[in-house]
């Protein structure tokens, strides 16, 4: 690639030096794939016959806490891009402050919710935070541009802004911050391919490429873009920046399945008209607590841990039937493009791994949590617990044997315990309903475990009250607010501190510990059908959430997390449903 230094957006085509260049790109999110698998995914993209990889850059991965930047290990963006270059791929980077991507809060860091700023706007306070982040981010990205012998050929200004706002000054501000930090490759925006979103989200008159996002009907969608170009009297190359080859899944809903022949036909239609970026090529996994959330009026629909997406590579990274159908179509359409056989990985199984230890959450709060105290309950954001769980605890003097409690203004999921006995679980809109209890003791302990199940990542609810998690107003006994609370922010990086010699109680949240050795280290999946709801940590790595309501009842476990001896699985389960053994299986359980 070093002989191609000049990438140009022409009137009708892209060019490298003086030669036309059709972008055949696939999306691989480095932050959704364990680093041990980056090379395989990139190799398989090149083997397909594609020439470019695209990735978003999530702000909340690289600056989870204000001013603390992380570009190491799974967040090593530089390494990912260099691996892509080594595989012979060019790179499209989408470093927008907001990315959507079915990712927690659309990639925005949750600490912004505690700041006096309007996100995705020309608010100077918001732009100040973006500027601080961009200064660090572009120290990495700027030297990797094609203009500096790197593989990056284009970067995105904002993401689907036409589906959120229409403030061109904001788009210019983001563009200017990029230029200030050394960006000198062509810039683009991407929006839905209809007039309203194209008009609201573009900067075409300032030389920025407008691209369209759609998963079918290329003739109609590109016609819309051409009509908009004619209206602007500006001619640009056509590019489908997100060809949606599948879709994401949500808890309690069927898995989306797209007919692969229909998908390939739709992709071929796109390629006949212009360039393309397949979203996704390899979907991967929403590790930890980073799944996003859809919204339907007041009700939120959090997405599952698997981001398989029905992509050409499955969650594990192996080629699907769709991969080979695309490869065949590319060969027929472009017979001179070099293709290779894709790499595949083996999987393993291991049955009946025995439970070693178990302990109740209430017994180990000090070891697993960071404690704060306040007169009234504080939100998760206020105490710096941006993701996962926060347990609230207080003691009350009995006013009546039969009492009524209410959690006022809380989100997302609440489990209410009286003296360590579960009284009620409330979810979203149910929070605030009466909780009737019988208090046999004169002094009683109230504990409420709140779970943030993922912030909305797209649309009008980005700044809704429901984006602030935990208890926002307080807890009432009878008709008055209760004071003097402790908050315990559960920190799953501390699982090595758990004291399993302490007591376990049935029916309450608890930790379950399993150990196993391996003769051969391969990918696998943890069967969680006999557990209710919670998260799994393997060798200190948070694999993500599970929930019995499905649609998937296992968690993908990459080989890069495992070791030959003393593999430790910690299951944190909140519903009191568990098994004395777990199994590793070759395929996900659907």
77-86 vs 124-141: helix crossing angle, rounded to 10: 40
Structure tokens at 330: 């590319």
Distances in whole angstroms, Cα of residue 406 to Cα of each of 91, 109, 431, 437, 444: 52, 30, 8, 11, 16
Task: Give me the residue label for tokens 């090379």.
Answer: 39
Structure tokens at 407: 């959690």
Would you put residue 442 in left (φ > 0), alpha (ψ -120 to 50) or beta?
alpha
Active site residues: 160, 242
Of 104, 213, 89, which Cα lies nearest the Cα of 156?
213
Count the Cβ atoms, other than its own, within 10 Å of residue 34: 21
Task: Give me the residue label for tokens 């090529």.
Answer: 281
Q: Cα separation of 406 and 27, whole Å? A: 45
Of 503, 91, 101, which Cα lies nearest the Cα of 284?
101
Q: Cα separation of 175 and 180, whole Å? A: 9
Contacts of 551 (CB under 8 A, 6+ apart): 249, 251, 252, 253, 254, 255, 304, 590
177 near 130, Cβ under 8 Å? yes
Distances in whole angstroms, Cα of residue 555 to Cα of each of 307, 456, 548, 568: 11, 23, 12, 15
Q: Which long-range contacts (CB under 8 A, 24 or more apart) does 338-341 make?
A: 338/49, 339/47, 339/48, 339/49, 340/46, 340/47, 341/47
Q: Mind spelling out the 3-state secondary structure of 355-384?
A: EEEEEEHHHCHHHHEEEEEECCCCECCCCC
């Amino acid at each position: 690639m070093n002989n191609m230094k000049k990438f140009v957006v022409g009137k009708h085509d892209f060019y490298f030096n003086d030669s036309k260049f059709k972008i055949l790109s696939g999306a691989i999110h480095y932050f959704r794939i364990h680093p041990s698998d980056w090379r395989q995914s990139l190799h398989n993209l090149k083997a397909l016959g594609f020439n470019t990889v695209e990735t978003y850059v999530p702000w909340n991965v690289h600056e989870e806490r204000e001013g603390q930047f992380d570009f190491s290990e799974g967040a090593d963006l530089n390494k990912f891009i260099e691996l892509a270059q080594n595989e012979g791929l060019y790179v499209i980077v989408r470093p927008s402050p907001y990315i959507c991507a079915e990712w927690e809060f659309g990639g925005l860091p949750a600490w912004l919710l505690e700041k006096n700023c309007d996100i995705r706007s020309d608010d100077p306070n918001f732009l100040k935070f973006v500027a601080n982040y961009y200064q660090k981010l572009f120290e990495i990205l700027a030297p990797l541009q094609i203009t500096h012998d790197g593989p990056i050929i284009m970067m995105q200004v904002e993401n689907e802004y036409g589906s959120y706002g229409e403030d061109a000054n904001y788009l210019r501000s983001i563009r200017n911050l990029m230029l200030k930090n050394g960006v000198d490759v062509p810039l683009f925006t991407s929006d839905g391919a209809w007039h309203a979103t194209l008009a609201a989200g573009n900067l075409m008159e300032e030389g920025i490429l407008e691209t369209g996002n759609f998963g079918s009907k290329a003739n109609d969608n590109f016609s819309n873009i051409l009509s908009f170009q004619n209206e602007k009297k500006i001619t640009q190359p056509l590019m489908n920046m997100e060809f949606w080859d599948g879709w994401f899944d949500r808890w309690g809903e069927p898995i989306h399945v797209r007919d692969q022949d229909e998908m390939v036909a739709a992709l071929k239609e796109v390629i006949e008209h212009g360039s393309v970026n397949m979203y996704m090529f390899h979907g991967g996994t929403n590790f930890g607590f980073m799944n996003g959330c859809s919204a339907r009026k007041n009700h939120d629909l959090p997405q599952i841990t698997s981001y398989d997406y029905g992509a050409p590579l499955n969650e594990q990274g192996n080629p699907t039937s769709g991969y080979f159908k695309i490869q065949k179509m590319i060969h027929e359409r472009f017979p001179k493009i070099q293709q290779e056989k894709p790499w595949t990985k083996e999987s393993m199984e291991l049955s009946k791994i025995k439970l070693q230890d178990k302990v109740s959450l209430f017994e180990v709060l000090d070891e697993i949590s960071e404690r704060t105290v306040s007169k009234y309950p504080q939100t998760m954001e206020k105490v710096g617990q941006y993701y996962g769980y926060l347990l609230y605890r207080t003691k009350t003097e009995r006013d009546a044997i039969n009492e009524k409690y209410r959690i006022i203004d809380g989100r997302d999921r609440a489990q209410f315990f009286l003296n360590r006995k579960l009284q009620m679980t409330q979810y979203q809109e149910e929070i605030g309903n009466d909780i009737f209890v019988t208090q046999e003791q004169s002094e009683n302990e109230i504990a409420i475990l709140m779970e943030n199940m993922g912030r909305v990542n797209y649309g009008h609810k980005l700044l809704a009250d429901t984006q602030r998690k935990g208890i926002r107003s307080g807890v009432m006994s009878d008709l008055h607010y209760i004071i003097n609370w402790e908050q315990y922010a559960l920190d799953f990086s501390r699982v090595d501190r758990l004291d399993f010699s302490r007591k376990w109680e049935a029916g309450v949240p608890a930790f379950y510990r399993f150990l196993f050795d391996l003769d051969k280290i391969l990918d696998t999946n943890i069967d969680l059908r006999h557990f209710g709801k919670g998260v799994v940590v393997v060798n200190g790595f948070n694999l993500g959430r599970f929930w019995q309501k499905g649609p998937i009842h296992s968690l993908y476990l990459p080989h890069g997390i495992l070791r030959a001896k003393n593999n430790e699985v910690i299951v944190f389960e909140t519903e009191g449903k568990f098994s004395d053994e777990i199994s590793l299986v070759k395929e996900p359980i659907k």
